[in-house]
Amino acid sequence: MYKPFTEKPIQKVGEDGRKIGRWTLEHSETQLRALHRDMLRARVFDDKLITLLRQGKTTFYAQCSGMEATQVGIAHGVRSGHDWFWPYYRDQGVALALGISMRDLMAQCLGMAGDLNKGRQMPHHFGVKNFNLASISSSIANQVAPATGTAMAQKYLGTDEITVCTFGDGATSEGDWHAGLNMAGVNKAPILFVCENNQWAISVGVAHQTASENIAIKAKAYGMPGYYVDGQDVLAVQSVVQEVAERVRAGEGPALIECLTYRLGSHSNADADAEKRYRNREEVEEWKNRDPIARFERFLANEGLTIDADEKAGMRAEISRELDEAIAWAESTGEPHWPTMFDDVYAEIPPHLIEQRELVRAEQEG
Ligand SMILES: Cc1ncc(C[n+]2csc(CCOP(=O)(O)OP(=O)(O)O)c2C)c(N)n1
């Protein structure tokens, strides 16, 4: 059983790809390859979206490059399609690893008619009903209290689902975050909070975010365990998430997991990172050398499962083809039809909106 409140992050595999401590690998080759493939898919998805931004096909994107072990470990540690998710905007790696299709994500990012949310959300803010994944909010920590509410409902209904709520380190300074964790602790709600601590909140470094020794320790104040995990170690993240999620499911109450990771790319396309305004390149280079995909590849090689450069290039090409197909499909669905902007908010559309709809119709259909 993993211990909460450790001084150092929990690890299973070191930088050199060697096992840390004594443990037996229980994954099949298929499971190991799935972890690797999902991390690579997240990375290639990021690369493609940067191209789409440059082509002007979308207007907003926030990369998860560098954070793949954290995101894929989270997704592989819970029950996809069963548990409920209140993620944050950088979670495309989680979404892909849960099994959400590239078509669905791409149609959302491009704001096309084929988007599950009808192209009405800000790009890169998806919501996927059949995966119990709530619509993403740009407002930091906005998801935390509703996530606790979802978990309270799950407890009340007596389901064996749990809720998973993710956020960045910056979110932990928001009032909503404290309210949500407090309410979860008091009500023993079946919720797993996961902080993807990538050490920056746009230009604010984590040392300026909190005086606590880490984020995990904050759980103590809300009466729940806090686990501090190496977020570059996919097996450690998956293993801790899995064990803690099952304890949450068994009725032990909420828990907080902090995954220590790093954002390699800019905060979003609206960021001064490239101008080196707030972090130096040495730091970025240092974390590039701690690439979670490379670390896992070293581990796989040590376990006799070498993925060589050719095989990896082939995998990247295959993922890229899948993405191109998703883009072509999304574009083929066309622009969202304007009347949908009046749908789905009210059960009965109020008179002032009917009036506005008719004004737009007159303009559109002249
Ligand atoms: C309530 C609120 N305040 C400020 C912002 C502006 N903002 C957007 S992202 C961000 C940083 C969030 O950092 P963090 O939670 O660490 O997540 P990261 O983006 O680093 O993954 C801020 C301050 C916002 N969107 N919402």
The domain ranges of the chain are 29-335, 338-366
Decide: 200 in ligand 1 pocket, CB within 6 A.
yes
Lowest-pLDDT choice from 78-87, 90-99, 117-126, 193-202: 117-126
Determine the pLDDT at residue 276: 79
Q: Which fold has domain 29-335?
A: Rossmann fold (3.40.50)
Pocket test for ligand 1, best of 64, 202, 203, 273 (most atoms within 8 A of CB): 202
3-state secondary structure the chain: CCCCCCCCCECCECCCCCECCCCCCCCCHHHHHHHHHHHHHHHHHHHHHHHHHHCCCCCCCCCCCCCHHHHHHHHHHCCCCCCEEECCCCCHHHHHHHCCCHHHHHHHHHCCCCCCCCCCCCCCCCCEHHHCECCCCCCCCCCHHHHHHHHHHHHHHCCCCCEEEEEECHHHHCHHHHHHHHHHHHHCCCEEEEEEECCEECCEEHHHCCCCCCCHHHHHHHCCCEEEEECCCHHHHHHHHHHHHHHHHHHHCCEEEEEECCCCCCCCCCCCHHHCCCCCHHHHHHHHCCCHHHHHHHHHHHCCCCCCHHHHHHHHHHHHHHHHHHHHHHHHCCCCCHHHHHCCCCCCCCHHHHHHHHHHHHHHHC
- From the number of C-beta atoms within 10 Å of its C-beta (0-12, 13-18, 19+), residue 234 rates as buried
Backbone angles phi, psi at 118, to 5 degrees: 60, 25
pLDDT digits (tens, 9 = 90+) for 106-154: 999 999 999 999 999 999 999 999 999 999 999 999 999 999 999 999 9
The stretch 148-167 carries a mean pLDDT of 98
d(CA 301, CA 308): 9
ipTM over 0.90: yes
How many other CB atoms are there within 10 angstroms of residue 67's CB atom?
29
Indicate if ligand 1 lies below 6 Å from the C-beta of 138.
yes
Atom of ligand 1 nearest to the CA of 171: 15
pLDDT band at 365 (very low <50, low <70, confident <90, very high): confident
Cα distances (Å, whole numbers) of residue 353 to 150, 281, 322, 357, 359 = 31, 51, 40, 6, 10
201 CB within 6 A, ligand 1: yes
Q: Could you tell me if the CB of 169 is within 6 A of ligand 1?
A: yes
Ligand 1 pocket, residue 125 CB under 6 Å? no
Counting residues of the chain whose pLDDT is more than 70, the rounded percentage is: 100
Q: How confident is the model at residue 274 (pLDDT cuts 50, 70, 90)?
A: confident
The pLDDT-based confidence of 97 (bands split at 50, 70, 90) is very high
Give the number of other CB atoms < 10 A from CB of residue 231.
29
In this prediction, residue 272 carries a pLDDT of: 76
Contacts of residue 336, Cβ cutoff 8 Å, sequence gap at least 6: 111, 112, 113, 115, 118, 119, 120
Where residue 271 falls among pLDDT bands split at 50, 70, 90? Answer: confident
- Using an 8 Å Cβ cutoff, are 56 and 78 in contact? no
**What does the pLDDT look like over 25-39, one tens digit per residue?**
999 999 999 999 999
Question: pLDDT band at residue 270, thresholds of 50, 70 and 90?
Answer: confident
Q: Is residue 275 very low, low, confident or very high in pLDDT (cuts 50, 70, 90)? A: confident
Q: Give tens-digit pLDDT for 309-351.
A: 999 999 999 999 999 999 999 999 999 999 999 998 899 999 9
The whole-angstrom distance between residue 193's C-alpha and the CA centroid of its chain comes to 12
Residue 99 half-sphere exposure toward CB, CA atoms < 13 A: 10
Structure confidence at residue 300 as a pLDDT band (50, 70, 90): very high
Q: What pLDDT is stored for residue 174 in this prediction?
A: 98
* End-to-end CA separation in angstroms for the chain: 68
Q: Give 229 Cα–ligand 1 centroid separation in angstroms.
A: 22
